[in-house]
Amino acid sequence: MTNASEVLSSIQSAFPGAVLDSRVESDRRLWATIDSKKILDVCKHLSTKLNFDHYSGAAGVDWIARKEMEVVEIMASHGTHQVVAMLKVKTPRENPSVKSLTGLYWNANWYEREIWEMFGINFEGHPELWPLLLSDELMGAWPWRKDYKGYPDLTTGERAVKISTPEGYTEYHIPPTPAEVEAGTVVVERPKYPTLREREEKEIKSDSEMIMHLGPQHAMVPGPFLLDVLVEGERVHKAFLDLGYIHKGIEKIMENRSWLQGITYTDRMCYVASLSNNECYCGAVEKILGLEVPLRAQYIRVILEELSRIQSHLIGTGEFLTLIAGVGYAPWQYMIIDRENIISLIESVTGARLTHTFVRFGGVRNDLPAGFADQCKKVLPYMKSRTEEFIELFAQDPIYHKRMDGVGIIRPDDAKRMGVSGPPLRATGVAYDMRKEDPILVYPELDFKVVTGTKGDSADRIDVRLREMLESIHIIEQCLDRIPEGPIRTEVKVPKKVPAGEAYYRVEDPRGEMGMYVISDGGDKPYRVKVRGPFYATFQTLTPLLEGTYIADAVAIAGSMDGCPSEADR
Amino acid sequence: MLKRKMIKNFGWPLKTAMRETEVTRLYPEVMMELPENERGIHELDATTCIGCASCARVCPNSCIEMVHFKFGNPLKNKKMQFPQIDFGRCMFCGLCVDECPVECLKMGKKVVMAGWERKDIVKSPDFLATKRFTAKEVADLEAEAKRVAAEKAVAAAAKKASAAKEAPAKEGAAKKPAKEGAAANGPAKKAAAEAKPKEGGAA
Ligand code: SF4
Ligand code: SF4
């Protein structure tokens, strides 16, 4: 099996002088600074020779004191080996520009677009440098640079000038103050790019085609995003996505909050997966601090994360059923009733229903309450029989299968290439699960299978989710048997200031691979937090997936992905 | 075949409907049962709060403000400052509870806090305090606090005075601060002297 030092020596021997700086953190983590001229070659080498077929994302970092910016490419493999290579490319802060990896990895597109709009780092060779999350007003302000001062300020309301348009509408114009212009927070010059509408209209080839909006407010989605489809009759010719409707800038907010306060923000990225988000952030910080989590706390974390996976899958599946309506409403109600049991279980430990803020650096907030195991022993067998019933119901319903079979098929190769993770990837038959690939906590000691599908269509994705719930129940039962007595927090005092360092930590979110890249500069706040969310990656595949389908299937496909725009936008 | 399976599936909701118990919550007539760990409205033990403002500093939403409140312990909380929480901003994360060094802030099972105006949900220590002293206890404690303060001031003055005496024996560099200290002590001594008779009168 390949390990990090072998990967490093392979790069060094293939490209002498390309690695400017390197650190082998463990067998599974390689940090290397690559010469910006060679990055494309190095990546090509990694993907062709060393099986790095999973481009997991990219992060931008603004090192204002060093007067340079950094793009960190996160590369991994789909199960051939477990090394995650964090390749850094440096570029000067004046006119930052690096080579785009879109030619090598299809899914680099969105990650690079995001870095471009947030940091203003140009990607040479990127075909579509258009805004993704930000609105047009903020383009060119490069809000995630460290010298960004905020927009708009508190006097905006007073400065607003009322303008009546010829059509009878009222608009407001907010002239910038001279100080703002000087500080660079107000965009004086905007980069040139086509708007979404221009992009859409360019694609209309004949009179029989038209654009149809699904969203931003649509019954199809649990959160707002705009899905425009170019249709001819019933056929979708092309799909366009516009997100950023609930872009909260959580990564930037976390830079301005203390380490501890950051936990509360990870909850709010996706409320049905808040425990795994907590885990991901705390795990990364624990890695920098070098904290050991006591065994009991590890078990508690696993129990709760698996419970939260069950409730997330229940809501995901239930919601999907309402989307395809027809067969749907009754099971949705039943799933919500069942989910209530799980939520109550979680609530009895954390004290909150959805936003738990439960995991702490080096432990957890509360111990399991008395009688928790008994309660679990009541609820879990019930959940198990219910889930089995659900699986049977889905399997035997001919209407459902007529509707769902063969809809939105992703082939395994495509899924890997597009960077999908979680149930949509496993439904194609690729057994890729962070709990096995990058094991954390006590997962290596537990016995569970990675559930996979065979066809990769919408029906399979739902089936994988339902069967995963059974695995989760199995995991929790083992944990309850094995959980030892002991402290729930590390005895080491967690310092307010985290020593300088960086870490990348991955967990298996209910939706797939959730990774957080956390950098500390030794202060009491994170220097940078990059969230690599699972749905962001799945989201990106929606546009190619919808091409050539029927309008009616668009909803079934999008719904089967179990989307969470809130986490994609962050 | 097809039909039979379909009928079986349609039968399922019927079957479950017979089996299920009531799920609708009868709020507000009947409040659901909340677990022991519930993170609801904060409960302040005003008798032990030391007014350190740790809770206010750690709050991610800055919803805690330290305000004056009468029925606390002046011995421990010299300035009588207690947390006031703006529940319009609070997200019930519980960080303030974890951070409290004397564990006087808890979160309880009360969750109802609606009001007609924004200011109605800014809850003062008076609302939050589940444990507090009575006016008489506070007066006694205040007297005690004054006595202790006075004693401390006297002790400090004595110490400073002795330090000042020793100072000349030491080197020149040490002289200056010692003298300054003695000078600063002057008013404190006076205050202590003033405080003493007053306290005696109260007693
Ligand atoms: S619970 Fe959280 S948000 Fe509310 S006052 Fe405490 S620290 Fe602030
Ligand atoms: S409640 Fe606790 S943390 Fe807040 S001021 Fe009082 S003693 Fe300090």
Residue type, A43: C
Chain A, 221 to 260: residues with Cβ < 8 Å from chain B are 257-258, 260
- Long-range (24+ apart) CB contacts under 8 A made by A372-375 are A372/A345, A372/A348, A373/A480, A375/A345, A375/A348
CA dihedral A274→A279→A280→A285, nearest 10 degrees, is: 130
Reported residue count of chain B is 203
- Cβ neighbour number for residue A136 with a 10 Å cutoff: 12
A163: β partners: A171
**Which CATH code, of 1.10.10.10, 1.10.645.10, 3.40.50.720, 3.30.2010.30, is assigned to A273-496?**
1.10.645.10
The protein residue whose alpha carbon is closest to atom 2 in ligand 2 is B100
Separation CA A394–CA A493 (nearest Å): 51
This prediction has a pTM of 0.83
Query: Cα(B49) to centroid of ligand 2, in Å?
Result: 5
Task: State how far Cα A366 lies from the chain centre.
Answer: 27
Is residue A468 within 8 Å of residue A451, measured between CB atoms? Answer: yes
Q: Are strands A363-364 and A501-509 parallel, antiparallel or unpaired?
A: unpaired
What are phi and psi for residue A485, nearest 5 degrees?
A: -75, 165
Helix (DSSP H) and strand (DSSP E) numbers for chain B? 6, 6
DSSP string for A350-409: HS-SS----EETTEESSPPPTTHHHHHHHHHHHHHHHHHHHHHHHHH-HHHHHHHTTTT-
- Long-range (24+ apart) CB contacts under 8 A made by A134-140 are A134/A244, A134/A247, A135/A244, A136/A190, A136/A195, A137/A187, A138/A187, A139/A187, A139/A190, A139/A191, A139/A193, A140/A187, A140/A188, A140/A189, A140/A190, A140/A191
Separation CA A406–CA A382 (nearest Å): 32
Which ligand lies nearest to the CA atom of residue B123 in the structure? 1
Query: Residue A450's pLDDT is what?
Result: 86
Query: Residue A220's pLDDT is what?
Result: 63
Q: Do A351 and B107 lie within an 8 Å CB cutoff? A: yes
Alpha helix stretches (DSSP H) within A184-241: 196-203
B67 lines ligand 1 (CB under 6 A): no
SS3 readout for A431-484: CCCHHHHCCCCCHHHCCCCCCCCCCCCHHHHHHHHHHHHHHHHHHHHHHHHHCC
Alpha helix stretches (DSSP H) within chain B: 2-19, 54-58, 95-99, 125-128, 135-166, 172-202
Chain A, 347 to 376: residues with Cβ < 8 Å from chain B are 347-352, 355, 357, 360, 365-366, 369
B42: β partners: B107
Is residue A304 within 8 Å of residue A275, measured between CB atoms? Answer: yes
pLDDT band at B202 (very low <50, low <70, confident <90, very high): very low
- The alpha carbon of residue B154 is apart from the nearest alpha carbon of chain A, in Å, by 38
ipTM for the complex shown: 0.75
Query: Residue B167's pLDDT is what?
Result: 57
For chain B, state the CA radius of gyration. 29
The ranges assigned to domains in chain A are 4-131, 273-496
- HSE, CB side, 13 Å, CA atoms: give it for residue A317: 32
Nearest to A98 by CA among A83, A120, A117, A77: A120
Task: State how far Cα A419 lies from the chain centre.
Answer: 11
Query: Residue B187's pLDDT is what?
Result: 44
A29: β partners: A26, A84
Separation CA A299–CA A303 (nearest Å): 6
Measured from CB, residues less than 6 Å from any atom of ligand 2 are B 49-55, 83, 99-100, 102, 104-105
Query: Residue A329's pLDDT is what?
Result: 63
- pLDDT 10s digit of each residue in chain A, 570 long? 578 788 888 888 888 877 788 888 788 888 888 888 888 888 888 888 888 888 888 898 988 888 888 889 888 888 788 888 888 888 888 888 888 888 888 888 889 888 998 888 888 888 888 888 887 777 777 888 887 766 655 556 667 778 888 877 777 777 767 766 666 656 666 777 887 777 877 888 888 888 888 877 776 667 788 888 888 888 888 888 888 888 888 888 888 888 888 899 888 888 888 888 999 999 999 888 888 888 888 899 999 989 999 999 988 888 887 777 654 566 777 788 888 889 888 988 888 888 888 888 888 888 888 888 888 888 889 888 888 888 888 887 777 787 788 788 888 888 888 888 888 888 888 888 888 888 888 888 888 888 888 888 888 888 898 889 998 999 998 888 888 888 888 888 888 888 888 889 988 888 888 889 999 888 888 998 999 888 888 888 888 888 888 888 888 888 788 878 888 888
The protein residue whose alpha carbon is closest to atom 4 in ligand 1 is B90
Residue recorded with tokens 């516009």? A242
Q: Do A261 and B58 lie within an 8 Å CB cutoff? A: yes
- Cβ neighbour number for residue B197 with a 10 Å cutoff: 9
Q: Which CATH class is domain A4-131?
A: alpha beta
Which ligand lies nearest to the CA atom of residue B59 in the structure? 1
Query: Cα(B62) to centroid of ligand 1, in Å?
Result: 8
Nearest to A355 by CA among A341, A365, A368: A365
Nearest to B134 by CA among B42, B41, B43, B46: B46
What are phi and psi for residue B72, nearest 5 degrees?
A: -105, -165
- Cβ neighbour number for residue B140 with a 10 Å cutoff: 15
Query: Residue A486's pLDDT is what?
Result: 83
